[in-house]
Each structure stands twice: as C-alpha cells, then as structure tokens.
Structure 1
Amino acid sequence: MSCRTVFASEISASYRWMKRSFPSCLLQRLVLKPFREELKNTINARGIHPKLVGFLANQDPAALKYAESTAKTCAETGVVFELKKCNREDLEDEIVKANEEESINGIMVYYPVFGDRQDQYLQNVVDSSKDVEGLCHKSEIVGRPLAALLANDGGKVYSVDINGIQEFNRGTGLRLKKHEVVDTKLKLEDVVPISDVVITGVPSPTYKLPTSLLRDGAIAINFSTCKNFEDNVKEKAGIYVPSIGKVTIAMLERNLLRLYDYQMSKTG
C-alpha cells in the first residue's frame, strides 16, 4: 500500500486573510463550529436520520479512539453511528452485508486492517454509493480521496507518494466540472515551499517532513496517527494541527449527507 502526502497550494483569499489574522483556536470556532451547526440544523430541519456504520477490524488503540470520537461527534449532529467490531478475516463479508442493508447510508473502515494491498481490495468492496471516505476517488486509502476532495472544493493540490507527484485541480475559476489529474516531474523539495497548506498522512513513526521545506506561515496538518512533522514545526508553521480530530469527522458527515440524498433520489 502506498501512502500519500497531500499539499493544497491554492486557497481562497478570505481564508488566507483568516490564516494570517487569527489563532488556530479561533479559526476552529469560526470555521468548524458553524459548519457542524449547519449540518446539525439541516438534519434536524429535514427530520432525517442518516446512518453511518464504521468497521473496526484491528487492535490499533488510535483507531478505537478515532471511532469513539466519531460516535460522539455524530451524536452531536444527529447522525446515527454504529461501530461494528469484527475479525479481519470476516470484514469483507460484513462490508457486503452493509452494502445490501437499506437502512445503512454510509460505510467507513478503520485502516490499516492487513497493512498491505488487501486493504486496497477491501476499500473497493465498499459500495461507492455508501463510501463516505472515498466519495470522489477510490484508488488509494487516504491520499487520493483527500486530494480529490480538496481539488473539487477549489484547491490546487500536489499529491505525493513514493512513485511521484500528481497535480489535482479544477482549473482557474473552477472552470472544470470536476477535478483533473496530471502527472508531474516535480520533487518534494519543489512543491512543499510553494504550498500554503501541507497535509501529511504517512503511517510510520520514522517519517518526518523537514521543517526547513515549509514556507513561513504555512498551515501544517498531521493526518496520520503517527507524528509526521519534526518537533520544531511551529517555528515555520503559522498553524499546526497535530491530529485531524473533528474536522475530518465533519467532512465524513458532509459526505454521508450527500450520499443519503443520492440514495433517496434513486429510491424516490
């Protein structure tokens, strides 16, 4: 399994201003809280109960903590969340059952399960109409779905793995209906210094992104359960987020709501 590091190097002018002017705790109140309130109000106003099922088939304490955080956040916004624990050998069958269960609107799996290409296979077992994690792209566990989500929301994204760097974008002024992916010959040293936001997702405690590559004031977000930034990251980063927490869960809830509407349009 290849693990990717994603760099969003184009964000809106208003967000650039907020990044320079506000501390991270205030940004969370101004951006995350209103977003979650909007989700909650939408669900309550429509009187719906979208259901998300999470599968935990490993003994990773970080995955369990993430699942518990997911359950808490979903309860706060009105999403029905169910955590299903199973042996990894039974996971495929359990996913297939969830695919066929009409009451389940979204599915997520807490990776790694096997820690190899079998995880990629399992990701593709999830019905695309219920996959809250790979809503836009399913070829990788984390990197490509995240790159696609950011690009579709207007970002210019450099997605990096051991095989090279790809650029995701929707063109100037969002002229494209969906993101396009272009292979590049760029190196890590080329893209990090020009990126306003750097998101790492390497599941290895030995990997550290050099602080020296970050541009002054960049936003550094650690997407991995392992610490991917050096200890001195705050010397260069304007905002440092050591763990993904509620932000990612809120994005999963947004995806769940979109999938719910898609499913209802098919049955209605």
Structure 2
Amino acid sequence: PLLVGLLANKDPAAKKYAEWTGKACRADGLRYELRVLDDPIDVEAALMDANDDPRVHGIIVYYPIFGQEESFSGASQDDYLRDSVSFKCDVEGLCHTYRTNLYRNVRYLDYPSNTEKCLLPCTALSVVKILEECPGCYDMTRPLGKRNEGKTITVINRSEIVGRPLAAMLSNDGADVYSVDVNSIYLFTGGRLHKVDETPESSVRK
C-alpha cells in the first residue's frame, strides 16, 4: 500500500508530523511518499492527482495550509481541501462522507450489508477507546449504541478534528453530550442536536 502525504506549509509541527508518518509507515512495511509543494495554491491539483492515481491507497494532508482563509464554497479553504479527499483514500476519517456518516450515526459505508466500517478521526476515537477501558464509563455488555446510556458528558472544544467528532461518538453510544465552544453550547441527545441556554460551568456540573 502507498500513503501519500501533501505538505505545503512551513509549520514545524506539520513537518514533524510528516516525519513521524514516514517512520511509522516504514516500521510497518508501508510505502510512504511525501510530496512537498512550494505554493499552497497547488495543493488542490496535487490532491486531485492523488485521488485519481490507482497506485495511491491513502492520502494525508498536513494542515494548516490556509488556516481560516475563506474559500469560494463558503467554508475555510482548509475545510474545502479536507472535503476534497476521496473517501476511498481518506486515512483520517475527516472527509465529507465520513463526517456526515458520523453525525448521522451511520457506521458502515455499505449499509445494509455492513461489511465496510466508516473511518473515524483517530484522536477522538482514542478517547473513546480509553473510556471503554475505564470502570463505570462504558457498559460493554449492552448493545452497540446503548453502552453510554444514562451518562452525561461535557466536551469543551468543537473543532472538526477532536471536539465535534468526539461529542458525536459519545452521543452515538447513548450519552447525553454537551458540546461547549466559545460562542455556543449544544446538547447531543437521542440522535438530535439542540442549542441550549447553559454556561460552560453549568454544563460541566451536569
């Protein structure tokens, strides 16, 4: 398998992440190719080329590239690029297909056959996996989707990388989840999302 990384910024953390990706791939016997782009405007074309290349099995884009700079589509340019990664090549679970399925609690790409699981963002998923091992957090004897029932959880941060997917995953497992961000607080409950009149302090006390 070939994983292609696209790097188009001078951010030291992104460069270090790219180095670690290469080391991890080599340790596991995977091929890794880092494509460094001098001009961020070239990322979209490079991304489309990688999407269409049958030799490429996975794509990882190292952000930030444009930060919160708005794209013509209305979202940020980085969000636009994230959604441009084909779900067939997305190794991070961040493209539109996987995000939409997560927020709708669709766990498989091929429903109703249910043989191909959707990818989930790794940092948020790792938090869930840790909670599954903590006594009293998850009831693994209960059916999928009900293992967190009766729990109230507050997630502070609503980024697309960690906070938002984590809140959705916990809610999909049955919990009532308060999602707290700078400008608003939402409650995920019963598969629905409600804006609520709470404060960060009152949400945490729940």
With structure 1 as the length reference, what TM-score do the two structures score? Answer: 0.43
Where in structure 2 are the equivalents of 1:203-214 lying within 5 Å? none
* RMSD over equivalenced CA pairs, Å: 2.9
Q: Which of residues 155, 158, 161 in structure 2 aligns to 1:142? A: 161
Opposite residue 111 of structure 1, the aligned amino acid is Y
Where in structure 2 are the equivalents of 1:43-192 lying within 5 Å? 50-86=1-37, 87-116=39-68, 117-133=76-92, 134=94, 136-137=98-99, 141-143=160-162, 144-148=164-168, 157-168=177-188, 180-185=191-196, 186-192=198-204
CA deviation profile, 1:53-105 (whole Å, cap 9, x unmatched): 22111100011111111221222233332221112110010111111112222
CA deviation profile, 1:177-220 (whole Å, cap 9, x unmatched): xxx351241432234456xxxxxxxxxxxxxxxxxxxxxxxxxx
User: 1:114 and 1:71, CA in 2 relative to 1: closer, same or farther beyond 3 A?
Assistant: same
User: 1:131 and 1:153, CA in 2 relative to 1: closer, same or farther beyond 3 A?
Assistant: farther
Residues 123 and 141 of structure 1 are in contact (CA less than 8 Å); yes or no, is this contact kept in structure 2?
no
Aligned residues: 136
User: Mind listing any 5+ residue stretches in structure 2 that lack a counterpart?
Assistant: 69-75, 104-158
User: 1:102 and 1:167, CA in 2 relative to 1: closer, same or farther beyond 3 A?
Assistant: farther
Residues 55 and 110 of structure 1 are in contact (CA less than 8 Å); yes or no, is this contact kept in structure 2?
yes
* 1:125 Cα deviation after fit: 1.3
Give the number of the structure whose residues are more often helix, by fraction: 1
User: 1:83 and 1:147, CA in 2 relative to 1: closer, same or farther beyond 3 A?
Assistant: farther
Residues 188 and 194 of structure 2 are in contact (CA less than 8 Å); yes or no, is this contact kept in structure 1?
no
Opposite residue 200 of structure 2, the aligned amino acid is L
Which whole-Å CA distance do the structure 2 matches of 1:150 and 1:126 have between them?
25
